[in-house]
Structure 1
């Protein structure tokens, strides 16, 4: 016969952790056997997605780069890996600027519909510092692009590919591709300088 305290302890112990799965098929050791039917359904979904990607974009790959225009240009061999990385960094910096400042993101494709209007900026000191850093980063990158030959066309092309993600630009003419590469190369150089400055304290003192 258990005492009242022992019953209470047993009850508390029974409440710890997740409840035991009912009617689950198990190995002899007690481990739950995997649900192969679920894995097969996941494979079927992936196969359908890859078939749709092949049909729409002509890319039979599961690479995440096939999911956006800059990545598809990289898979097509029209830009280098360094240029793609610089474009991804630029897109991240612009997204950070829009998010922190509360300015609506310019492309509804890149954001949930219920969040496309942005949000009212907060007034905390830390928030102001974050907004200032994001704004300075955005202006620095825009200055780099505008500083290229034919800077306005270069900036617009890079923005439309990396931020707006216009699918039609995957088949852009060679002149426009030259603007894109020129802008991405400038961003690669700027990124290299920034990383060097962050790693070399003597550079920061110049």
Structure 2
């Protein structure tokens, strides 16, 4: 049997705040989950991102290409699809080189921002092999760019757009855009030669 005082305290406690929602879905901490669906929250987040892109870059699109300088140049129609793909491949190769060798990425604006700090060198044989291969790829790509006419300017421009992701280069003058296109075309040609050579090799091995 509860005493009169206990009954009074229980009554007062029950009257505090709003009544508890019986069927509400909750997080582990007890907080009620929002009522909107995951799809609605994704749409809301996308709308915010598109509004920010339109305000900052003048691009009202959900395309992933709007998220970096080379992609924005492609959306602006200043480079072709093949040139954009070559630039993306070059950026991926350079990022792989930095990751595997432990060298920190040269800028916080570089595309793989999660690995800006680098890491200690790995001593395993497999890691060493992969790092060596990534270094060879990096040097080969730099050689491809340096062999272009005005190679130093071409290499610097391609690196600053594709790896450093400098936003200001979106409005680069035509002379500098020519260096970028020249370097990207050289990378496209190099990839075509390698793919063709690998295809011939595989056919001859059959």
Confirm or deny a common fold (TM above 0.5). yes
Say whether 1:39 aligns with 2:5: no
1:84 aligned residue: 84
Any stretches of 5+ residues in structure 1 without a counterpart? 1-21, 26-34
Q: Which residue of 2 aligns with 1:129?
A: 129
In the TM superposition, residue 122 of structure 1 has moved relative to its aligned partner by 1.1
Does structure 2 retain, via aligned residues, the 8 Å contact 1:197–1:204?
A: no
Matched-pair contact (CA < 8 Å) for 2:109–2:166: no
Q: Which runs of 5+ in 2 are unaligned?
A: 1-21, 26-34
Aligned pairs, number: 174
Match of 1:8 in 2: none
Match of 2:195 in 1: 195
Q: CA deviation at 1:202?
A: 7.4
Deviant stretches of 4+, over 6 Å: 202-205
Query: By how many angstroms is 1:39 displaced?
Result: 3.0
Shift of 1:107: 1.3
CA distance in 2: counterparts of 1:53 and 1:62, whole angstroms = 9
User: How far is the alpha carbon of 1:197 from its aligned partner?
Assistant: 1.5
Output the TM-score relative to the length of structure 2.
Answer: 0.78
**Deviation for aligned residue 1:198:** 1.6
Determine the structure 1 residue equivalent to 2:145.
Answer: 145
How far 1:38 sits from its partner (Å)?
Answer: 4.1
Rg larger for: 2
Once the 2 structures are TM-superposed, how far is the Cα of residue 156 of structure 1 from its aligned partner? Answer: 0.1
Change (3 A) 1:157 1:204: farther
Mapped partners of 1:204, 1:171: distance in 2: 47
Q: Matches of 1:182 and 1:39 in 2, distance apart?
A: 43
RMSD across aligned positions (CA): 2.1
After superposition, the C-alpha distances for 1:172-198 in whole angstroms (9 at most, x for unaligned) are: 000000000000000000010111122
Structure 1 residue 41: Cα displacement? 3.0
Report the TM-score when normalising by structure 1.
0.78
Instruction: Give 1:24 shift.
Output: 7.1
* Distance (Å, rounded) in 2 between the aligned partners of 1:193 and 1:48: 43
Residues 65 and 75, structure 2, Cα contact 8 Å, conserved in 1:
yes
Per-residue deviation at 1:116? 2.3
- Match in the other structure for 1:165: 165
